Amino acid sequence: MSFSDDYPFVFRQQIRSFRGEDRISQLPDAVLRHILSFVPTTKCVVRTCILSKRWKDIWASIPNLYFRDEEFSSSADFIAFVDRVLLHRGSSAIQKFHLHFNRYCAEDFSRVDSWISTAVRCNVVELVLSIGSGGQAMFELPLSLVTCKTLEVLRLMMSLFIINNVPTSGCFPSLKCFHLHFTDNYANYTAMRLFYFSVLEHFTIDGDPGPSLLDLNIFAPELKTLRIEFSSSNDMHKYYNIDIDAPDLEKLDLKVGSLSNFSLTDTKSLVEADIKLCFHPNEDYVQEDSVRRDTEFLAAISIVKYLSLSGSIYEACSVPAFDNLIKLRLVHFGGSHWWKTLMKLLERSPNLECLVIDHQIHPTRRQVEVEVIELDPEKEEEVIEHTGYEVSLIEVTKYTKVLNWIPPNSVPNCLLSHLKTISIRGFRGKGCNGYLDEMELTKYLLKNGRVLEKMIIYTPGAFRDTKEDIFNETSMIEWSSKVVQVEIIEKMFYGE
C-alpha cells in the first residue's frame, strides 16, 4: 500500500484542479527539502506526497524526522508508520531524529532499538528520545548510539533505562550537548554509568528520578556548562551519586535537595555558580559525612567570580576563601539563621564588590503572644453594645520582639575596602516576621560599609509607612561612607 492510498481520490483531484501557477513546485529539490524540514511532524510531511508527481518522493529525503505516537490511534499504527518511513528513505542522511513514544511496552524494545540503530547508520546529528514507562522493564540504549561518530546533540526523556558496557574511551566521540530528563517518578532501578565525554560542552540533568539508583561518574575535559535540577523530595537524594570531573567548566547551575551527594573535581576554570538548595539543613540532626561533603563542595566552587546561593548551609561547614568572588546573591525562604550563612560568606570574600540579598517569602505578621484577661465590668456594656455579644473575657494581642541577629566580632574586609553596591529585595514591614533581623543587618552594612556607593532597598509595600520606617531607622546611625546613596523602592516584583 502506498502513502497516497491513505487519502481520498476526490481530495487529490481537487488539488490537481487548482488553477494558477505553482511556483513552489518549480523550486529545486534541495529548497523543497529545506522548506519541509520545518514542518513539525513527519506525518504531515508525508502527506505532501499527494500534491503532485513532483512531490511524490520529496519527503523521502527530508533530513529531519519527527515521530509522535499521540498522532496515531494505536501503538501498532505508529510502529507500522515509522517502519514504512525508514524503509522508504533507505540510507538517506538524517540530521535530526526525534522519537516520542509514550505508549510502548517491553515487547517494543527491539523495534525502538532498530530505529535508533538506523538513525546511527544514517549519520544522525541530533537525537531526541522521549520514551514512556514500559512497565518495570529496563530499556538498554544500544552500544551503537554510545559510539556514534556523528551525534552532536542528545536528549533523553525517559525513566527506566541503562547503558551497559560503556567503553572507557570513544564514548560519544562527537557529542557536544547532552540533556537527560527523568520522567515517571514512580519508576525505580534506573541506572546510568557514564565515564568519558571527549568533546561535551553542555550537560543538563533534570526531572524527578524518584527512588531510582542514579549513578553518574563523568569526566568531560571540554565541558563548559553544567545544569542539574531535581524535583525529588528530600529523602530521595540519598539514592543519587554524581561525580563530575570537568577542568574547563565555566558555569554551574545546581538545584537539588542536598549537596552531600555531589562531587566536583578539578574546577579551576569555574566562573559562575548558581546553587539552589530546596531543603534546609536540620541542625538538630547533623551528620558528619554530610557536613564534610558540603564543605568539600564549597571548596570546589570557591574559585568563582559570581555566586548565587539559595538556602542555607550547615553551621558546622567550614566555608573556604572565595578570593575571586566579586558578586554574591543570597536568597532565603525564611528561617531565623539565614544571616549566619551571609556573614560567613562575607568574611571569606575579601574582594566582594556587589551584594544582593533576596527575601523570597511573603510578608507575614510578626509572631504574637495572646493574653486572656478578665474584662472590666464597667466596659462590658460598651463591648456588648458594639459587638452584640456578651463576653466576660477578652484576648489582648502583643507583638513579640524576635531578634536572632548577632553582629560578628570583626568587620569583614570586603565591607572596609571593596563592597560598593548592595541590593536588598523583599524587605518586609515593621510588623512582619524577621523585620528586626533584616533591619539590624541593614544598619550594620551602612555603619561599616566604608566604600559603599549605593544601597537599593526593595519593599513589597504590603504594610503602610514601610518606606518611612526604613528611612527613619537607618538614619539613626552614622553611615561609614560619605558618598553612599540609599534608595527605597516599593516594588513587589523585580528583575535579576
Tracing cell 523530595 back to the chain, one arrives at 233
- Tell whether 175 is covered by a domain: yes
**CA gyration radius, the chain:** 31
Q: Are residues 392 and 453 in the same domain?
A: no
CA pair distance 30, 34, nearest whole angstrom:
6
Q: Of 320, 355, 387, which residue constitutes the final position of a domain? A: 320
Query: Which pLDDT score, from 0 to 100, does residue 238 have?
Result: 60
Number of domains in the chain: 4
- Tell whether 66 is covered by a domain: yes
The full length of the chain comes to 496
Query: Which pLDDT score, from 0 to 100, does residue 390 have?
Result: 47
Q: Are residues 18 and 48 in the same domain?
A: yes
Instruction: Give the number of other Cβ atoms within 10 Å of residue 42's Cβ.
Output: 22
Q: Of 35, 67, 84, which residue constitutes the final position of a domain? A: 84
Q: Is 139 in contact with 161 (CB distance < 8 Å)? A: yes
Which cell goes with 25? 513546485
Side chain identity at residue 227, one-letter code: R
Q: Are residues 127 and 33 in the same domain?
A: no
Q: Are residues 9 and 145 in the same domain?
A: no
Q: Are residues 268 and 171 in the same domain?
A: yes
Q: Are residues 393 and 480 in the same domain?
A: no
Q: Are residues 203 and 249 in the same domain?
A: yes
- Tell whether 338 is covered by a domain: no
- Tell whether 306 is covered by a domain: yes
Q: Are residues 236 and 218 in the same domain?
A: yes
Q: Look up the domain containing 475 and give its range.
A: 413-490
Query: Which pLDDT score, from 0 to 100, does residue 248 have?
Result: 95
Which cell goes with 250? 565555566
Query: Which pLDDT score, from 0 to 100, does residue 381 have?
Result: 54
Q: Of 298, 320, 342, which residue constitutes the final position of a domain? A: 320
CA pair distance 95, 286, nearest whole angstrom:
51
Q: By C-alpha distance, which of 76, 82, 45 is closest to 60?
A: 45
Q: Are residues 118 and 65 in the same domain?
A: no
Integer CA distances (angstroms), 364 to 427, 428, 432, in order: 12, 8, 5
Query: Which pLDDT score, from 0 to 100, does residue 162 have?
Result: 67
- Tell whether 7 is covered by a domain: yes
Q: Is 8 in contact with 44 (CB distance < 8 Å)? A: no
Residue 386 in 3-state DSSP?
A: helix
Query: Which pLDDT score, from 0 to 100, does residue 59 have?
Result: 66
- Tell whether 140 is covered by a domain: yes
> Could you write out the DSSP letters of every residue in 165-205?
S--SSSSSTT--EEEEEE--TT---------B-SS--EEEE
Low-confidence ranges of the chain (pLDDT < 50): 1-4, 7-15, 17-18, 188-190, 363-373, 380, 383-400, 494-496
460-468: list long-range contacts, CB under 8 Å, 24+ apart: 460/363, 460/426, 460/428, 460/490, 460/491, 460/492, 461/490, 461/491, 461/492, 462/363, 462/428, 462/429, 462/432, 463/363, 463/429, 463/430, 463/431, 463/432, 465/430, 466/427, 466/428, 466/429, 466/430, 466/490
- Tell whether 406 is covered by a domain: no
Q: Are residues 36 and 168 in the same domain?
A: no
Q: Are residues 74 and 43 in the same domain?
A: yes
Query: Which pLDDT score, from 0 to 100, does residue 431 have?
Result: 64
- Tell whether 261 is covered by a domain: yes
Q: Are residues 373 and 481 in the same domain?
A: no
The enclosing domain of 27 has a CATH number of: 1.20.1280
